[in-house]
Structure 1
Amino acid sequence: LSAYDTSTGVVLAQVQIAAKSNEIPAFTPLLRLVAAQLGSLADVLVVADAPHAQTGHAEYLAAASGHLMVTVKANQPTTFAQLKAVPWARVPVGARTRETGHGRTETRTV
């Protein structure tokens, strides 16, 4: 599992996933390495795949004044239901990009 700085193209840290395990238990040790590399996680935005939509991951980053952006899927039913109930149409759009490539149009909205 690695942490990649998108602005510089540099891998900040990486940890090996234990045999017969997955990325989830390696996430916090990875963030500790990133914090050591950067000096802290304050104001750092960590973008991770859906398996990292874990309360512990979010709490760890919040305690370090960092931020976590993850996709939440139906396998996290409580969080998924809470997010589904948000009146998204009334939330202002911060940024939107639209790209076309590989036979599809992709829109990303924050």
Structure 2
Amino acid sequence: MSRKKLLMIWLLCMLTAPVLLLAMACQAAFGSGTRALSMAVAYDECGNALFGGARGETISARTGNALIQGRRWAKIAAPAIDAIFGAGHCLANATIRQEP
């Protein structure tokens, strides 16, 4: 993809991000919890892409995979994520499986 197209996508994201944040808050408060969750997952995937993760992968899945692989950073990040979303959240979202 050309740099010009990427800059146009960036501009579109800059214009739609505030609308998405407001829509997510409204959906969470007054509308569909499912739709608000979908928006939250989109932000999660965006954050993962920011740190070099795979397209369509969430931060929790990436952290769970890294835990299975024994990566040191995941041993630090996983407890923080699990504290917010519940014990074992990262490992439950991992896309690779642990060997017994």
* TM-score with structure 2 setting the length: 0.27
Structure with bigger RCO (C-alpha 8 Å, 6+ apart)? 2
* Higher strand content, 1 or 2: 1
Greater share of residues in helix: 2
Q: TM-score normalised to the size of structure 1?
A: 0.26
